[in-house]
A and B are shown apart, each in its own frame.
Chain A
Amino acid sequence: MNTEEQIEIIIAKYLSKKSNTKEKEILFAWLNVSEENKKHFLHIQNIWHVSNPAFKSEDIDTDKAYTRILRNMNNQKSNVPKKESKMLVWWQKVAAILLIPILAFTIYQNTKGLLPHELTAYQEITSPLGMKSEVTLPDGSIVWLNSGSKLKYPLQFNSKKREVYLSGEAYFEVQSDKSHPFIVSTQNLSVVATGTIFNVEAYYNDTISAVTLLEGKVGLDLNKNVSKNLLPNQRFIYNTKTNKAFIEKTDANSWCKWKDGILAFRNEPLEDVFKRIGRNYNVDILIKDKKVAKQMYRATFEGESLDEILHLLKLSAPIKYKRIAREQLENYKFKKEIIEVYSSK
């Protein structure tokens, strides 16, 4: 055994508190030899500590901690004793009821600095590529986030509306509340709903954005110009390149199967099929033959692995494919796996 291995064993013993006095002497002497030795030790100690966390992750409640410091932050800010600020708020309300808007506005302006500040803290949930997530919003609405999607929502919905921001695809089951419309804002369009079930496809920079309605009623705002309404089993499709939109009748359920882990394709061009598969499994699928891209395809996949799906596609569509090994760039970064698809004809 050479010195390097020897010292590493001593370091490990020291870190697990199992070293004797002699070993400690050797360690300290070695540490004093050079800065490099010190750094090496520190790095091992670092990884050691981090791979043996002091507490279980589940035992650290960040949300609770955040709420706690929020309370303290609020106390820090208001210099006015609580009684006074309550009166002002009441007066504002009275003024508003008595229809004295100007007065109410003036009071509001003057008290803005004194009233406890309303914090709008946002929560952002990201569903990484290849995974799906389910989120329950503060009002009880449930959202399923598809692969590679992000949802941003306030920890507390504001008094007038419930607004969330979506990039990607999500399925919403919104709690009914007519007085607080639920708004989903995406890159190109906004969906306004009160109590209803719908699916939104709005991947950043995708050509197509779509909204499919299962139950209830939703209003769609397209760049604040166009406004449309959807009925159940209707699908609104917006082409961001041509700026054209249209509504078609459809079986709404088929567009939401992804949340149950089912990849369903109903007469879609292969390029869309491969795009969705790529997203789901976090690989880049490149179609090398143009005519393959436009071929229409219909299939349902449930729980198969990427290998199995590619295999099935090869059997049922006129394609063949080549998997390219992952390329390693510097610093442990890797490019996504690439699959090239060719026409087999």
Chain B
Amino acid sequence: MKEENYLLSELKKSNEVAFTMLFRSYYTDLVQFAGHILYDKNRCEDIVQNIFLKIWSERETLSIETSLKSFLLKSVQNACLDEIRHQQVIRTHESYSESVFEIDEMIDTENYVLFSDLNEHVNLAISKLPATYREAFELNRFRGLKYREIAEKLQVSERTVEVRIGKALNLLRMYLKEYLISILVLFLLKILLK
């Protein structure tokens, strides 16, 4: 947060490097965020770029009460919804009239987790795994090797591989506890709707 305040005060002084850093740190996350409202990538990118252009041209009078993340998310959301209303794009999900629109407009911008945040958490969790567990886990989940193949490669028994991966998963579940509810529900649904 402190770094962001510093960047914002530098932005006010027309510091382009500060602007660049802000742009680069939020760009992809905001485009992805817009993607769940408007499905056209080019339009999403245009919208996010225009918001940054506006931030630059109004940099001297810019005042952000909440947080930069909140401000950016709200700006993107408003711009996307404007676009929808303007274009009268037909929503692909069934409408339940007002209520649906309301839910979709609700975002907890203060606590919103961006894609890079989640990615970072997941990568951090994996990097915290003890080397042998991580190795077995990565070989299985990222390289797609079977337990038998991993056992051969690492010169250990299949049982050891099983144990290591099990331990890795347990640790990851613990590290990612906070995000797990949603992930669990995701998996649960995949099973239910087979």
Which A residues are closer than 8 A to B by beta carbons?
8-9, 11-13, 16-18, 21, 24, 28, 31, 38-39, 41-44, 46-51, 53-55, 57, 59-60, 62, 65-66, 68-69, 72-73, 76, 119-122, 130, 281-282, 305-307, 326, 332, 334, 337
Contacts and interface: CB of A to CB of B under 8 A. Distances in A.
Contact of B96 (A28, A39, A51, A55): A28
Q: Which of A13, A55, A59, A130 is most buried by chain B, counting CB atoms within 10 A of its CB?
A: A55
Contacts of B96: 21, 24, 28
Contact of A44 (B28, B44, B182): B182
Q: Which of B57, B135, B182 is most buried by chain A, counting CB atoms within 10 A of its CB?
A: B182
B118 A51 contact: yes
Given A12-B189, A119-B16, A122-B17, A54 B32 contact: yes
Interface string B89-123: 00011101001100100111001111101100100
A47 B118 contact: yes
- Tell me the dominant secondary structure on chain A's binding face: helix
A332 B192 CA distance: 31
Contact of A57 (B17, B28, B93, B182): B28
Given A8-B188, A44-B182, A50-B117, 15 more contacts: A8-B181, A9-B185, A9-B189, A24-B100, A46-B108, A46-B113, A48-B182, A50-B114, A53-B115, A54-B41, A59-B41, A60-B32, A69-B53, A121-B17, A281-B131
A49 B106 CA distance: 13
Interface in B1-42: 16-17, 20, 23-24, 27-28, 31-36, 39, 41
B56 interface: yes
Nearest to B192: A9
Nearest to A66: B23
A281 B129 CA distance: 12
- Tell me the dominant secondary structure on chain B's binding face: helix
A31 B32 contact: no
Contacts of A13: 189, 193
A326 B179 contact: no
Contacts of B52: 69
Contact of A65 (B27, B103, B117, B193): B27
Contacts of B39: 54
B148 interface: no
B106 A16 contact: no
22 contacts: A9-B189, A24-B100, A28-B96, A43-B108, A46-B112, A49-B33, A51-B118, A54-B39, A55-B35, A60-B32, A62-B28, A66-B23, A68-B49, A69-B49, A76-B53, A119-B16, A305-B132, A305-B135, A306-B131, A326-B130, A334-B175, A337-B130
Nearest to B131: A306
A13 B192 CA distance: 10
B7 to A, nearest CB: 14
